A and B are shown apart, each in its own frame.
Chain A
């Protein structure tokens, strides 16, 4: 029964996506989507947002989580509370706050792509930060740091050449999870008026019949690939719960 619930909508979408040509099954809808100039702008745009979000998230959260573990454990609770805050603020409420806060002088940055990336970093923060923190818990941060310091390493070297490689798996699973979130995200991109994949599918639903089915399947394959990679590289099953509905 669970299997039926899971597969029937996908099967329906898939069969529907093959019916773009009258009378026989074809991949016409897919070629239509791939050759659509809109798709060629908006899909790579989402990939770009996702990549920037991951880079920004890693650069911001790895040193933070490391610093909290090593030097200021009393900050753990407030930092964890902040990283969980996006669960309390639904995406639509969050973007409402962003738009209203940053759409009047002197803070007129609502049109900047940076705001979207910052917003995505916030949305993916609970997953990214926790993933990194779990990774740090598994290694002996203190000993590694002391060993590196006694060999004469500076903070940059410690972070990028000692800590990074040791929590590579955690960073990667956080990254792929963030990738899946950003690729499927609609609310932020729509209200900050930036090109992205999910708003593109929404537009297709309004204007086309078979193409949105093809785009839906593409998006599903993408999520499946991300989750598969996380499993293969050894991420935990607990980490794979996200929001953004």
Chain B
């Protein structure tokens, strides 16, 4: 079947190249764990992974919580019906509006000459005096959040839809307070979905590259993806084998993410059928 030929040539084979060359000595061609061990001892690469993980955790939590509250408010907050459909449309657009144009939109908003920076200055707050920079950790986090929270809205909405009215009515009849309803009914049911979605958000941020490159020029923030980009331009690591190991490491992290997501999604489906 042509599909398998295609998948093999352009997906499986290039991916397996990364894996095979990770475990192959670039000079002798023999099996080796050298590249992986080098990676684990290289402070520059480990730092890049750590930064990627930090920003992914921060934006997955932030985007996850914000996205969940937004989705819940629009679905169950007693707001008119059109709020929900417009939120879904916005989320579809915003989660797609990423990469280079997104980076520029935030440059226009929050760079030293940006619009919001100017507005805040006019009321006496100079954010750049308070140590904020768009081009570093928190700045990049704010930009990532722009595609993180809409994604959360889109993937958590079905779970919120699955919360049945009967449950809140039943718990009210049994004399439960709103807090108790959340603590003992809604939260335990939603927890696997929320965790699963946040894991997906983590992966989404972890693999992000274009946004970071456009914003920082690839210099002030050394994310794992940026290290791979630099390695591809020219052998910055000074060791081709290490480059494969860095790429391989990312695939490992993403695989863990997808497996975790699948497991949690299965758990979530038990209640939300």
Interface string of A205-231 (1 = CB under 8 A from B): 100000011011001100110111011
Interface string of B158-188 (1 = CB under 8 A from A): 1000000000000000000000000000000
Closest to B214 in A: A202
- Cβ of A99 to closest chain B Cβ, rounded Å: 6
- B220 CB-CB contact with A under 8 Å: no
Flag if B108 contacts A13 (CB, 8 Å). Answer: yes
A90 to B146, CA, bound (A): 19
Flag if B254 contacts A16 (CB, 8 Å). Answer: no
Q: Return chain B residues, CB-CB under 8 Å to A181.
A: 96
Q: Which of B2, B98, B244 contacts A184 (CB 8 A)?
A: B98
Q: Return chain A residues, CB-CB under 8 Å to B206.
A: 90
Closest to A177 in B: B96
Flag if B100 contacts A92 (CB, 8 Å). Answer: no
Q: Return chain B residues, CB-CB under 8 Å to A216.
A: 101, 104-105, 108
Closest to B207 in A: A90
- B147 CB-CB contact with A under 8 Å: yes
A100 to B12, CA, bound (A): 14
Q: Return chain A residues, CB-CB under 8 Å to B99.
A: 184-186, 198, 244-245
Flag if B10 contacts A118 (CB, 8 Å). Answer: yes
A99 to B66, CA, bound (A): 38
Q: Return chain B residues, CB-CB under 8 Å to A215.
A: 101, 104
- B127 CB-CB contact with A under 8 Å: no
**Segment at the B interface, from A4-12, A34-42, A136-144, A146-154:** A4-12
Flag if B207 contacts A8 (CB, 8 Å). Answer: no
Q: Which of B11, B66, B254 contacts A90 (CB 8 A)?
A: B254
A35 to B207, CA, bound (A): 35
Q: Return chain B residues, CB-CB under 8 Å to A94.
A: 14-15
Known: A82-B7, A184-B101, A244-B210. A97 touches B18 (CB 8 A): yes
Q: Return chain B residues, CB-CB under 8 Å to A220.
A: 93, 97, 101, 105
A38 to B98, CA, bound (A): 22
Flag if A227 contacts B89 (CB, 8 Å). Answer: yes
Q: Return chain B residues, CB-CB under 8 Å to A212.
A: 104
Q: Return chain B residues, CB-CB under 8 Å to A227.
A: 89, 92-93, 96
Interface string of B216-229 (1 = CB under 8 A from A): 00000000010011
Q: Return chain B residues, CB-CB under 8 Å to A73.
A: none
- B196 CB-CB contact with A under 8 Å: no
How many B residues are at the interface, by size bracket?
35 or more
Flag if A245 contacts B211 (CB, 8 Å). Answer: yes
- A171 CB-CB contact with B under 8 Å: no
Q: Return chain A residues, CB-CB under 8 Å to B96.
A: 180-181, 184, 223, 226-227, 240, 242
Within 8 A of A (CB), among B92-139: 92-109, 114-116
A180 to B96, CA, bound (A): 8
A226 to B89, CA, bound (A): 11
Flag if A60 contacts B88 (CB, 8 Å). Answer: no
Interface string of B71-92 (1 = CB under 8 A from A): 0000000000000000111111
Interface size on A, residues (CB 8 A): 75
Residue among A2, A121, A243 with the highest chain B CB neighbour number at 10 A: A2
- Cβ of A242 to closest chain B Cβ, rounded Å: 5
**Segment at the A interface, from B27-35, B36-44, B148-156, B264-272:** B148-156
- A22 CB-CB contact with B under 8 Å: no
Residue among A12, A122, A185, A241 with the highest chain B CB neighbour number at 10 A: A12
Q: Return chain A residues, CB-CB under 8 Å to B18.
A: 93, 96-97, 100
- B237 CB-CB contact with A under 8 Å: no
Flag if A201 contacts B254 (CB, 8 Å). Answer: no
- B236 CB-CB contact with A under 8 Å: no
- A187 CB-CB contact with B under 8 Å: yes
Interface string of A115-128 (1 = CB under 8 A from B): 10011011000000
- A49 CB-CB contact with B under 8 Å: no
A115 to B228, CA, bound (A): 20
Q: Which of B7, B108, B158, B251 contacts A93 (CB 8 A)?
A: B251
Flag if B14 contacts A97 (CB, 8 Å). Answer: yes
- Cβ of B177 to closest chain A Cβ, rounded Å: 27
A88 to B99, CA, bound (A): 18
A74 to B21, CA, bound (A): 32
Flag if B228 contacts A96 (CB, 8 Å). Answer: yes
Residue among A88, A191, A212, A242 with the highest chain B CB neighbour number at 10 A: A88
A-B contact pairs, 6 of them (CB 8 A): A10-B105, A86-B11, A97-B18, A119-B10, A228-B89, A245-B211
Give B residues with C-beta under 8 Å from A. Answer: 1-3, 6-7, 9-15, 17-18, 21, 66, 70, 87-109, 114-116, 144-147, 149, 151, 154-155, 157-158, 203-211, 213-214, 225, 228-229, 231-232, 243-244, 247, 250-251, 254-255, 258
Q: Kindly list the 5 A-B residue pairs having the minimum CB-CB distance in the complex, ordered from nearest.
A: A90-B207, A97-B14, A240-B92, A12-B115, A9-B105
